[in-house]
Every structure is written in C-alpha cells, then in structure tokens.
Structure 1
Amino acid sequence: MYHEANQANDASDENEDAQSAYAYPLLIKRLLHTPMAHAREQEIVYRGKVRISYAQLQERIARLANGLERLGVKHGTTVAVMDWDSHRYLECYFAIPMMGAVLQTVNIRLSQAEIAYTIDHARAEVVLVHTDFLPVLEAIREKLPRVHTLVLIDDEGNVTPPPGLEFADEYERLLASSGTQFDFPDFDENTRATTFYTTGTTGLPKGVYFSHRQLVLHTITVMAALTSPEDGQRVHRGDVYMPLTPMFHVHAWGMPYIATLMGLKQVYPGRYVPDRIVELIREEAVTYSHCVGTILHMMLSCPQAKTADFSKWKVVIGGGALPNGLARAALERGIDIFTGYGMSETCPVLTLAQLMPSREPRTLDEEVSLRCRTGLPIPLVDLRIVDEEMRDVPHDGLASGEVVVRAPWLTQGYLHNPEASKVLWEGGYLHTQDVARIGTDGYLQITDRIKDVIKSGGEWVSSLDVESLISQHPAVAEVAVIGIKSEKWGERPAAVVVLHPECAMPVSAEDIRTHVMQFVETGKISKYAVPEIVKFVDAIEKTSVGKLNKKWLRENFD
C-alpha cells in the first residue's frame, strides 16, 4: 500500500509545477551573470593599449546590440565579422547571438574567393570589417549580393575607406551613439548562435553551426574539466587568459566564453606577432593560452623568447599532434604544456591530456609521453573507436579504429549541405575521420587522419608517430611526414624537415634515417616507418589555421 501510494503521489507531482516557474533556457546571455556579480572591475586588455572592465564590457555589448538593431539586424540575421583577436570580437561573441542573430566568424586567412563564398553561403547581411581587410572586401564586394550593411573597424581612427565601399558607420562611433541598456529577449535555446567554415583540404569550405544550448553546455563542461585537476593543466580564477588560436576558428576553442564566465583577466593580442606576444605574456602576466604547435614553435624561436620567463604559463596544444620534441622543449622552459583534442564540428573540445594524480614522481620522458597523448574524454563525451562496421575495437593500446563521438554540443550537420551532413552522422555518431587507439588506462591516442595514414608494404604507418620520433632529433625544429607513391611498396614515408637555425653541425638525410632506425631496433616502430626520402626546407606549408598542410605537401612533393 505504501509503495502504491508513493507511485500515485509521484504521478500527481508531475503536474504540480508552479505556473510562474521559470524554465531558464540555456542562452549565451546567462554566461554574463556570474562575472557581473563578482568580477565587474576585472580587466580586458587589447594589445596592451585598450583596457576595459567587465562592467564596461556589459555596457559595450548593449551598445553594440542597439547599434546593430538600428542598422536592421533582427532575430535570425547573420552578421559576419572580419577582425583580429580583440575585445571587439569578444563583444560580438555575446551581443550578436544574444539578439537572436547569428554570428559568422570569417576566416580571414582563406583565399579571397573562399572568403566570398563563405560570407555568401552563410547568407550574411551585415559585415563588420577591420581596416586591414578592406582590400579583400573591396575585391569581393560584388560577390556579396546579400550584404546590405558594412561597419568599419578602425584601430587608429584615421583610415579612409576605398571609394567602392560604403560604410553605415565605424564600430566605436556606432557604440558611442548607442544606449547602454538593451533588453535581450528570451527565445528557444536551440536557436542558432554561430556559424563558421571548416578549412578542409578538399572541396569548398563547409559551414558548421552551433546553438545557444550547445555553446552554454560546452562552456560549462570544458570549464569543469579544466578546473578539476589536483595540480597543473588547470584553469582557476587567478589566471590571466590570452588566446593564441584565432577567434574566427571554433570560437577560439570556446575559451573566451569560459574565461568570461569565470571572470578572468583577458588579454587579446590583435595580429599575431611573436615578439609582441612574448612581451604581452610578460607585461600582462599571462598564465593560460592555447594554440597549434606551429604557433608555439614560432614563439619559442623568436628573439624575445630567449630571455623570457615562461614558468607560470600553461598552454594547451590542439589542431594537430603535439610532437615529443616540442613538448620537451616547452617543459624545459617551464611551460605546463598538454594536449587538447577536437575538431571544428565538435565545438571543439572532446579530450584533454591532463595528468592523473601519481604517488611517484615522473621522469621527463614519462611527462612528455603523457602530455603528448590525445587524452581522456571530458564529461558528457561518449567516445568510441570502431572498425568499418561500427564495431568497437579493444582498448588494449594496440587495436586501432576510427574515433566516433556523441556529445550535446556537436554540430548537427553542415550548413545547407544535407549530403555531407548524412555522411558526418552516419550510424548516429559523428565521424571524426581520425584513426586512434585507446589504452587500458582509458587514454586516447590519435595515430593519424584516415587520409594521412601511409600504407606501406601491407603495413599502416602513422605519419604522426614518425613525426614525433623525428622531432626528437636535436637538430630538428619542425617536421611533416607524408606518403609518396612507390611501385614496390604502394607508399613510402617521406619527411619534410626544418632544422634549428642555430644548428652548427651539418645534418644529412642519412642522419635522420639513422635516428629513426634506433626506434625500429627497439621495436617502437616498424621498419616501414623509416623515411625513404628526407627533404630539408626553410619552412613547411601551413593551412589557414596553422596546421601542417599535408595535401599541399603531397601535391607539390618532388
């Protein structure tokens, strides 16, 4: 009787919600509640020249919304932004989606034709553009028939736009003439908030998009993951944050939203100039950043870095594998370096290579090995490695399969591209096209992209593994490994190598092959992994977001 009575009470309780109860949709505007309660005077810095408080940020967000509304932006309007990393971009991260409009973050490193395609394909109607990109906009203006309004972003305040471009206003003037209060409405949390375009190596860029709900859940979950470690590889309220991943690329990995929610001091560097970035780290006491490995390598190689103190700097490396050589060099400089993994389609964070507590001190080799692994899934991520039939492969550190995932913040498809969306989500899981293995300890290790795996003599050779081994040669600054055609073996590895500028001793291709052979002899890698060709170059071609451009290398290798 007692059990039956409780069941009846439970059933009746389902209909007893107060009519005045507030459902609290997960909207981006919610991320501002906490910092406005306890961090109103905290600083946001742009290039060391502009400083605003969080209280001013809130006012400027309202001013921007009022100004854009006056220019015709309404719920559903797509607003494209072409700017360097700045406080203005942060304001756009909030104001535009909080209006119910869609923020398009334009990849300004694409070709002019690709930039025109992405703006038009996203159906943007308003473009905010920095003066540095006026030549690009002038060249593509006729290819943007949907765009009816331009707003100029002028750092110096003295640029005269080309005669072919008509601007409705300049960004700071627009804000100055607008009110400091805006009634940001409630709406469905599944409303699209942002869109941007992947930098795929084949075909036209693909548009991915994210809702308010997805961005809020990504923000909260990644924050939980980053704040949870006992010591190291973590973020806390005393940190000073500076992104070194462009704000046009996957919301700078979502970190500006996290930093704002936590009320951190934020530093935005503008255009990436290595010496200036090192100065900002020193002058603003920056303690947390994220970037691709090539950016960190570029920074550590600049003159200012030689005497810089990086002992309080934590850096997440993503967008590609963290080579052992770079990790070792960073640790020796005192940098708390570790890997993060995700992709444009995943908002992006899926895993972090944070160290688990250990009673025994680790050697440098052990530290390097753990920090270079792809990491453990963050909360709410359902991550599998599967064969071609979508069957799980063993988590024994040996078996490989494709990484497929589910999480509440993954893009639900490609914008206006149902066929590609179907392929992306085949079988109800998002397909990453990454090949990986999972160890008995649960750590994921990406071994390659499906398209970059080298098939040699019946064996699969991981280009990432070979790159990591070559990077450990003391003379090697940077390396890319690709597969080249071989009549006998199908494919053979070829290495493209950049040597350290201060390398005094001559280094030959045979020296690199001998270096790799030592790992063959210890059983760490197959003999098929020894590169048949080693090519020395001054620089390695990169994609628009700083990744090694292996498609270009394969097409232009001779």
Structure 2
Amino acid sequence: MAKTKIIPPAQGAYNYQLLIKRLLLSGVRYQPDQEIVYADKLRYSYRTLNERIQRLANALSAAGVKAGDTVALLDWDSHRSLECFFAVPMLGAVLHTVNVRLSPEQIVYTMNHAEDDIVLVHDDFLPLLEQIHGELNTVKGYVQLTESVAKPTQLPLVGEYEALLAGADSHFEFPDFDENSVATMFYTTGTTGNPKGVYFTHRQLVLHTLNQLGTFAGWDGQPLLRSGDVYMPITPMFHVHAWGVPYTATAMGVKQVYPGRYEPNTLVHLFREEGVSFSHCVPTILQMMLDCEEGKRTDFAGWKMLLGGSALTLGLARQASERGMRVHCGYGMSETCPLLTLTHLRAEDLALPMDEQIPERIKTGVPIPMVDLRIVDGAGNDVPHDGVALGEIVVRTPWLAQGYLKEPEKGAELWEGGWLHTGDMASIDQRGIVEIKDRIKDVIKTGGEWISSLELESLISQHAAVAAVAVVGIPDAQWGERPLALVVCAPGESLDQKTIEVHLQQFVDSGHINKWAIPRQIRFVADIPKTSVGKINKKLIREAVLAEL
C-alpha cells in the first residue's frame, strides 16, 4: 500500500465503529408507528421492535450469554428472527442461523463446529433437537419459541421466548466494541464434504446494508425498496440474512411482513392483504406462487420481485410479467453477503414495451457500487468486454467473507490471487452488463465445444407447456458429454421429446445455438430435485442419472 498522510484525531474524538446497533437508529426516528407484521398472528410498531430487542438482550444476558458466545436460531421467517438479527450481535455475541433443511447429521456438525452455546428453537423443530441433543457438545440450554401453547419437551429449557421477554427489563445499554467483531454465521453446502462456516463482521454487514439501501432506493432504473414500500422476504432468513434485506428495511423504517413457514397460498394471500410491493425469492418459489390456487386468481400488479440464487428463465420471467409482476435479477453467493450485481435499466430500456425489457431484466446485471468485479480467463487475465468471451467472475468488496470458519486451506482457495473466486462462468458486454452462463462445474463440454446449461434451460422454458426445466451434462463415449434435460409439464399439458426438439430447432436455425446443443435425452418428470434453499440440485440429478448408466 502507498504511504499516505494520516493525521491523528483530536483528544476526546469519538472513534465511531460501524456496528449493527447503528442500523436501528433511523427506522424508529422516521416511522415510529410503522408496522412489523408476523403472518396473520401479530403486528406491532417500530417502537415495540426496539423495546423487544432490548428485552431480548436482557433475557439472553440473564441466561448467561456474553460477548463472544454463539447463539443458534432455528425458526421460520418471523418477527423473532428479526429481533435476533439485532439483539444477539448487538450484545457482542454471534448469531448462528441454522439451516433447518439440512439433514440431522449436518445440523449436528454445524452446531458443534460453530460451538453454539444457547439455542433458540421453534416448537416445530423440538423433535429434531430432542433427537440430536445428546450429540451437541457445547449447548448449555434452549429457549423455546412457540406460537400459542408451548409444547412439552425434555430439553433443558432456559424458558419460553415470550415469557422471558415479558419478565425482562425494557432498557439495555448496548456496548461499543470493535467493528471487526463477528456478528453472524451460517453454513453453506457444497458438492463434497461437510458444510462450510461463513461468517460476517459488524462492519461488513453495515457497509452491505448502506450500499443496498442506496442501490435499491437511489436509481430510477431499479427502484426496488423506497420509504412507501411494503417488504416481505421469501428467501429464508437462515440463508445469508435473507439476502441482507431485513437490515436494510429496518434502517429505512418500511412496513415489513414476515410470513412464517413458506406456503405458496399463504404468501400470495399476504401479498394481497398486506399490500406487499417488494420481495425476493428463487425462481422455484416464484413458479410455485404463480401456479398455486391463490396465485391463479390473483393480479400481481405492483409486486416488484428480485430473483436470485439460480437463473431466471425467459419463459418464467414472461409468465410473471404477464401476471403483473415487475421482475429484477440480482447476483451473489453465500460468501458475498450476498449482493454483487443487479438489473440496471437505462431510460431507453424503460421506454421499451415490457416484453422487450424482459431479456435485459433476466441478465445478471451491473456490479453495484463498491463492487470491483472482473471476469478472467484461466491465466487470470481479463476477458474482452464483448458479451461473448467467457471467464470466471472474481470480486473484491468490503463485505466479502474473509475465509471459512476453522478451514484456512479452503479459505485460501476461495481467495487465490487476492480475489474471491465465485466459480461462476460469465461474459460482460461494453455496457458492463454481466451475464452468467453457468457454474464452472455445470458447463457441458461436448465435442470440444462449451454448452451453457442455463441457456438451454431458458430456451426450453419458452415453450408454453413447460413449467420447469433442468439441464445437466452426462458422459458420452463419442462427444465427452451431452446435455440431458428434465422437464416438468405445465398443469393440464403433455409433451414428448420430439416436441421439445422441434421447439429448440428454431434456435438452431436462427444461429442462437448449435445443433449438438439439443439434448439427446429429454425426461418428463413430476418434479425437479431442489437444494435446502430451493435451488435446482444438479449434483443430485447427475448422481441419479449416473447410477442408471
């Protein structure tokens, strides 16, 4: 680094640390009576939110939680989770949001690896915790989260959440400490080995929040979340802090709606009844909401939907747009906190008919402010910005995970050469618009040529009778690999392989794809395997197909 001039601060100057508690200051100032809603069960104001956060801090302190401890949370998306997002790290402790969709064995591994001290657990997960309690090495007690009447349990309880809050003092003086203190932790699953612990500091989360706030609210081409909006997450709060948006929404003081356990009809009902205007989800959840009974009779006009986690196909984007939604795409990963890029529409783009905007809306987007993003070849050199040349996305921002918990070797692999390696293959055009073509491990190499599984999925999805599709590469003696497609038919529709081949031939004739990109095998299935966070599980698909060979 260059040697620069640094002037020491005056005596008594306050060293302002970027701590999560700072994010609570503005919402209650701007909108003290604005609502926090939990499904159809509860609603309260920002004043009450701040009071409950202080009560929770007192209750946890009384239970023995201190700075540096780890508090685990197993809950659905709720007001309680929002309160924990603030109270736990503001104590100086670490919030471990447990992925409740992992297997019991994986949950045991993550809770032991994180060295959880106290566990907050919803009644729905009591049987799981009772099953694995004897295998948890560091847990000292449990706080029960219940909706009405607490279920009996043999777990060593500290108490029931609401009772503890009711008995706690309503004021807590949150301490100052180093902004580089770890605030949150969760585990990301890969294709091999145990889940990896990803952690973020107060500084990283505050910077991500401030950047997200400005990006969502400041640009006419992507006005996703502004002061008059109503926000409802449809990405689990255990996964990358629900993309960090609960922190942003709370700092803004907007109305927030937490839906509890995701059920498509309930989500659509809450959209209508609470006036939701902004949400984010993965494409599979979007498809489920469009297809459910409530969805079929609902006009989705006014709902801005940010899609991420996996590629949004052109067919699904058009279906959502025709039903009134305004779709946007974002990109990131667990290790990036997560936001890196976002749909960015210029004035000339917005002037186009919506059907002509859709191809731009489903691209990966433009890097948001403070994101240094490159697309590099195997030698680490930047690829041409021509929208064609492919390379790996590597990034630097102030909110990237600096490693994996207790796994320095894997952290070094992540940060090879001083850039965080995403494992995503993409192109970038002269306007700076990124378009992900595939995960490195999902690109199909056939006859020396590369085929993007995501592009094939998007083309197949444009057939009106296709509800969902996944494409993977399978071994081929002659060509190395050939694509295989799994297709789910829309309700009341039927398809055969010849119909899909004819549909794809139009893209061959136009020069969009080569003839060898048409899958030789097309299987029609009732459902497509998903990961614990709703993404298409291509690893599982490949394993199942290979087992048949």
Normalising by the residue count of structure 2, what TM-score does the alignment of the two structures yield?
0.97
Alignment check: 8 A CA contact 2:186 2:240 kept: yes
**1:402 partnered with 2:420:** no
**1:354 partnered with 2:338:** no
Match of 1:181 in 2: 171
**1:473 partnered with 2:463:** yes
SS of the equivalent of 1:358 reads helix
Q: Write the mapping of 1:321-336 to structure 2, written as runs, cut at 5 A.
A: 321-336=311-326
1: CA distance between counterparts of 2:126 and 2:224? 39
Alignment check: 8 A CA contact 2:231 2:277 kept: yes
2: CA distance between counterparts of 1:244 and 1:234? 15
2: CA distance between counterparts of 1:233 and 1:469? 29
- Alignment partner for residue 69 of structure 2, among 73, 77, 87? 77
**1:68 partnered with 2:55:** no
**Cα offset for 1:20?**
2.1
Alignment check: 8 A CA contact 2:179 2:202 kept: yes
Alignment check: 8 A CA contact 1:152 1:169 kept: yes
- Alignment partner for residue 136 of structure 2, among 123, 144, 159? 144
Alignment check: 8 A CA contact 1:321 1:464 kept: yes
- Alignment partner for residue 536 of structure 1, among 518, 524, 543? 524
Alignment check: 8 A CA contact 2:306 2:330 kept: yes
Match of 1:556 in 2: 544
2: CA distance between counterparts of 1:494 and 1:481? 6
1: CA distance between counterparts of 2:437 and 2:208? 25
Structure 2: unaligned runs, 5 residues or longer = none
Q: Write the mapping of 1:150-161 to structure 2, written as runs, cut at 5 A.
A: 150-161=142-153
Match of 2:102 in 1: 110
The list of structure 1 runs, each at least 4 consecutive aligned residues, that deviate by more than 2 angstroms after superposition, is: 231-234, 363-366
Tell me which amino acid in the other structure corresponds to 1:556.
A
1: CA distance between counterparts of 2:62 and 2:396? 40
SS of the equivalent of 1:168 reads strand
**Cα offset for 1:359?**
7.3
Match of 2:409 in 1: 419
Tell me which amino acid in the other structure corresponds to 1:347.
C
Alignment check: 8 A CA contact 2:350 2:357 kept: no
1: CA distance between counterparts of 2:359 and 2:87? 42
2: CA distance between counterparts of 1:20 and 1:267? 43
1:222-257 alpha-carbon deviations (Å, 9 max, x no partner): 111111222554211000000000000000000000
1:77-107 alpha-carbon deviations (Å, 9 max, x no partner): 0000000000000000000000000000000
Match of 1:517 in 2: 505
Q: Write the mapping of 1:201-220 to structure 2, written as runs, cut at 5 A.
A: 201-220=191-210
SS of the equivalent of 1:326 reads helix
Match of 2:38 in 1: 46
- Alignment partner for residue 91 of structure 1, among 76, 83, 92? 83
1:370-410 alpha-carbon deviations (Å, 9 max, x no partner): 01100000000000000111111111011000000000000
**Cα offset for 1:221?**
0.4
1:118-153 alpha-carbon deviations (Å, 9 max, x no partner): 111011111000000011111111110100111111
**1:14 partnered with 2:7:** yes
Match of 2:231 in 1: 241
Question: Structure 1 359/209 Cα, relative in aligned 2: closer, same or farther at 3 Å?
Answer: closer
Question: Structure 1 78/402 Cα, relative in aligned 2: closer, same or farther at 3 Å?
Answer: same
Normalising by the residue count of structure 1, what TM-score does the alignment of the two structures yield?
0.96
2: CA distance between counterparts of 1:43 and 1:409? 29
SS of the equivalent of 2:106 reads helix
**Cα offset for 1:552?**
0.3
Tell me which amino acid in the other structure corresponds to 1:37.
R
Alignment check: 8 A CA contact 1:448 1:464 kept: yes
SS of the equivalent of 1:496 reads strand
Structure 1: unaligned runs, 5 residues or longer = 1-9
Larger mean Cα displacement after TM superposition, 523-532 or 283-292: 523-532
2: CA distance between counterparts of 1:522 and 1:363? 23
State the Cα RMSD in Å: 1.3
Alignment check: 8 A CA contact 1:233 1:336 kept: no
Tell me which amino acid in the other structure corresponds to 1:509.
Q
Tell me which amino acid in the other structure corresponds to 1:474.
A
1:300-354 alpha-carbon deviations (Å, 9 max, x no partner): 0001111212111000000010100110001111101011100000000000013
- Alignment partner for residue 131 of structure 1, among 118, 123, 131? 123
2: CA distance between counterparts of 1:522 and 1:31? 52
Match of 1:386 in 2: 376
